[in-house]
Amino acid sequence: MADLFSNVTQIQWQMVVMWAIGGLLIWLAIKKEMEPTLLLPMGFGAILVNLPWSGAVNQTYPTGMEEGPIDVLFNAGIANELFPLLLFIGIGAMIDFGPLLANPKMMLFGAAAQFGIFFTLSLARFLGFSLEDAASVAIIGAADGPTSIFVSQFFHSNYIGAIIVAAYSYMALVPIVQPAVIKLITTKKERQIKMDYAASGVSKPVRILFPILITAIAGIIAPRSVALVGFLMFGNLIRECGVLGSLSQSAQKELANLITLLLGLTVSTKMQWQAFLNPQTLMIMGLGLIAFVFDTAGGVLFAKFLNLFTKKKINPMVGAAGISAFPMSSRVVHKMGLAEDPTNFLLMHAAAANVSGQIASVIAGGLIITLVSGAL
Amino acid sequence: MFHVQALLESLPMMGYGMLGIFIAVAVIILTVVVLGKIFPVKK
What's the rounded Cα separation, in Å, for the pair A322 and A332? 12
CB contact under 8 Å between A217 and B31, yes or no, is yes
User: Looking at residue A164, what is its pLDDT?
Assistant: 85
Q: Using CA coordinates, name the residue in chain A closest to B33.
A: A104
ipTM: 0.92
Q: How confident is the model at residue A119 (pLDDT cuts 50, 70, 90)?
A: very high
Closest approach of B12 to chain A, Cα-based (Å): 10
Is A46 among the domain residues? no
Interface of A with B in 109-138 (CB under 8 A): 110-111, 114-115, 117-119, 121-123, 125-128, 131, 134
Report the residue from B14, B31, B36 with minimal CB separation from A122: B14
Please judge whether B40 and A203 are an interchain contact, meaning their C-beta atoms are less than 8 angstroms apart: yes
Sign of torsion over alpha carbons A30, A36, A37, A41: negative
Domain-located, residue A45: no
So what's the pLDDT on residue B41? 81
Which of A110, A122, A363 is closest, CB to CB, to B10?
A122
Is the pLDDT confidence value at A222 over 80? no
Structural domain includes residue A369:
yes
A122–B11 CB contact, under 8 Å: yes
Mean pLDDT of B19-35: 92
- Judging contacts by C-beta atoms under 8 Å, the chain A residues touching residue B34 are none
Number of compact structural domains in chain B: 1
Q: In Å, how far is A118's CA from the nearest CA of chain B?
A: 5
Comparing CA positions, the residue from A100, A17, A98 lying closest to residue A274 is A17
Mean residue pLDDT of chain A comes to 90
Flag whether pLDDT at B1 surpasses 80.
no
Burial class (CB in 10 A: 0-12, 13-18, 19+), A9: exposed
Cβ atoms A109, A353 nearer than 8 A: yes
Residue A195 lies in a domain: yes
Distance of CA A282 to CAs A111, A143, A278, Å? 28, 18, 7
pLDDT at residue A199 tops 80: no
| A297 in B contact zone (CB under 8 Å) | no
**Cα angle A123, A224, A320; round to 5:** 50
Structural domain of residue A92, as residue ranges? 84-155+162-265+278-375
pLDDT of A33 > 90? The answer is no
pLDDT for residue A171: 81
Q: What is the pLDDT of residue A123?
A: 95
- What is the pLDDT, as a whole number, of residue A1? 66
**Confidence band for A337, pLDDT divided at 50, 70 and 90:** very high
Higher pLDDT, A60 or A30: A30
Q: Establish if A286 belongs to a structural domain.
A: yes
Best probe of the B interface among A147, A363, A370, by most B CBs < 10 A, is A363
- Give the mean model confidence (pLDDT) for residues A339-348: 90
The pLDDT of residue A261: 87
Among B3, B7, B10, B39, which would you mutate to test the A interface (most chain A Cβ atoms within 10 Å of its Cβ)? B10
Q: How far is B8 from chain A (nearest CA, A)?
A: 8
**Structural domain of B12:** 1-43
Looking at the domain assignment, is residue A192 inside a domain? yes
CA distance B20 to chain A (A): 7
Least-confidence region, from A262-271, A284-293, A329-338, B11-20? A262-271
B25 and A118 within 8 Å at the Cβ level: the answer is: no
Whether A156 contacts A307, CB under 8 Å: no
> Any CB–CB contact under 8 A between A88 and chain B?
no
pLDDT at A224: 75
> Total domain count for chain A?
1
A29 domain-assigned:
no
pLDDT, chain B, mean: 90
Q: Is the distance from CB of A350 to CB of A329 less than 8 angstroms?
A: yes
> Does any domain span residue A307?
yes
